[in-house]
Chain A
């Protein structure tokens, strides 16, 4: 007998409110309807009413987890229009912030993934590690969630003591190598729950326009840090992680290996931190007429900004495309014919962020 099972908007397995209506037959899911829009805040509209300096703070609030990347991508777009060059040290610090944020986001995701399959011990271990990442973020920026590090043309705060941060990064690296990666790649119950589940073929991934770890786990060779480097990725060298097994396990492994790459980038950037100013002496308050797009790789995938300026201190239009906006619809392609028991894990495997999606 077919029946409809609602997951959400509020559900123990979801971080944020959105709704999946599953049409099931027994324990098999036949189709899913996705509804979003529960946390819409009209940030794009608000951004058109504030000046550029306040906008950088505003767009940080698009997402509670990948906040830094929004500010930095917006800054990139505005810098393109205004022709502002970013000093080397600021480029490196932006990279370090971006990678720390990725680490923190992937760890958060791993914890929730573990919780969704009832693996509470793993959840505790991972959140303990994530706490260390947030300690580093706090040491650098003074904040644990919305960092306020990005200013037009540079960053607001300098890294004064790279050595102590290197030591903290070393501790996280050990935790990742000893606990997180072995368990996620070798534990039998985890493999039983993830292998061959929630398959998203490469063709579907392209059709839905998916981005980020989700796309890379489906064999799409796309990482903007490598193909169109920004910040300091060109100097540091970057290797993307691509797998083509297309299932939840591939997404787990892609994220696990990305965390290792992030740690490497952070250490490299801290060791080679160039000296110099962290922002230009004079940053214009008004930006000349023009329009520009900017893209960067957030933890969940590619963030896209379009900024149009009309020569005043307020943007005429800010368009934000977050990775979850394209990733969430692809849930529909993944769930068909899957078991109901796998639904929390499948939806978690794309790392949906509803604040991002609704803005």
Chain B
């Protein structure tokens, strides 16, 4: 396994790495955002993006994708009442990603320094990528 992953595990307390064809996957509920941000910055890992997945029970899985060269690192966290602590407070590159996620899935990031809408047009509600909202919006536009 890559040195960076071992160092990252030491510094942030991530455990149980799962190696797959497209990189290393972690799942963690308790990871400290400040430690993670400091650690990835030291190790020159760049935050590629974060993906939001609907779980079906009203909560969301958020996957943080970090990359460095051939190394791809994915960290999965789950929201609690559609809330997550913000990574953007410590890592500027997460700012737009979290703002966009808030627009599309209405996941709230606590402690985000600049929580304005990013891509959402004013006439649609936040979270319009959620299955239920998207379906109803579609029906509405078809009815017109």
Contacts and interface: CB of A to CB of B under 8 A. Distances in A.
Interface of A: 36-37, 40, 42, 44-45, 80, 206-209, 211, 222, 224, 227-228, 292-295, 302, 304, 306, 308, 316-317, 319, 321, 325-326, 329, 358-359
Contacts of B1: none
Contact of A292 (B21, B67, B69, B121): B21
Judged by DSSP, the binding face of B is: mixed
Contacts of A325: 49, 96-97
Nearest to A40: B119
Contact of B53 (A80, A293, A317): A317
A321 B119 contact: no
A207 B104 CA distance: 24
B95 interface: yes
Nearest to A358: B119
B33 interface: no
B29 interface: no
Given A44-B129, A293-B22, A293-B72, A321 B120 contact: no
Interface string B34-54: 000000010010111101111
Contact of A206 (B20, B41, B53): B41
B65 A209 contact: no
B119 A37 contact: yes
User: Which bucket holds chain B's interface residue count?
Assistant: 35 or more
B92 interface: yes
Contacts, number: 87
Nearest to B120: A37
Given A207-B41, A295-B72, A304 B121 contact: no
Given A37-B120, A208-B93, A294-B22, A222 B48 contact: no
Nearest to A45: B129
17 contacts: A40-B121, A44-B129, A206-B46, A209-B47, A211-B46, A222-B68, A227-B69, A227-B70, A228-B70, A293-B65, A293-B72, A306-B51, A306-B65, A317-B51, A325-B96, A325-B97, A326-B48
Given A44-B104, A207-B91, A326-B96, 17 more contacts: A42-B129, A207-B92, A228-B70, A292-B21, A293-B72, A293-B74, A295-B48, A295-B67, A295-B72, A304-B48, A304-B49, A306-B49, A306-B51, A325-B96, A326-B48, A329-B96, A358-B119
Nearest to B119: A37
B63 interface: yes
Contacts of B54: 317
Contacts of B92: 207-208, 329
A45 B130 CA distance: 9
A336 to B, nearest CB: 14
Interface of B: 20-23, 41, 44, 46-49, 51-54, 63, 65, 67-70, 72, 74, 91-93, 95-97, 104, 117-121, 128-129, 134
A292 B22 contact: yes
Nearest to A320: B49
Contacts of A37: 117-121
Contact of B49 (A206, A317, A319): A319
A36 B118 CA distance: 7
Contacts of B74: 293
A207 B49 CA distance: 13
Contacts of A222: 46, 68-69
A-B residue pairs, 3 tightest by C-beta: A209-B93, A321-B49, A227-B69
Contacts of B53: 308, 316-317
Contacts of A304: 48-49, 65, 67
Contacts of A321: 48-49, 65
Residue from B49, B68, B69, B92 whose CB has the most chain A CB atoms within 10 Å: B49
Nearest to B53: A317
B93 A326 contact: yes
A16 B20 CA distance: 38
Contacts of A317: 51, 53-54
Contact of B95 (A80, A295, A308, A329): A329
A326 B46 CA distance: 10
Contact of B21 (A80, A207, A224, A326): A80
Contacts of B118: 36-37
A209 B64 CA distance: 13
A37 B104 CA distance: 12
A293 to B, nearest CB: 5
B51 A207 contact: no
A80 B22 contact: yes
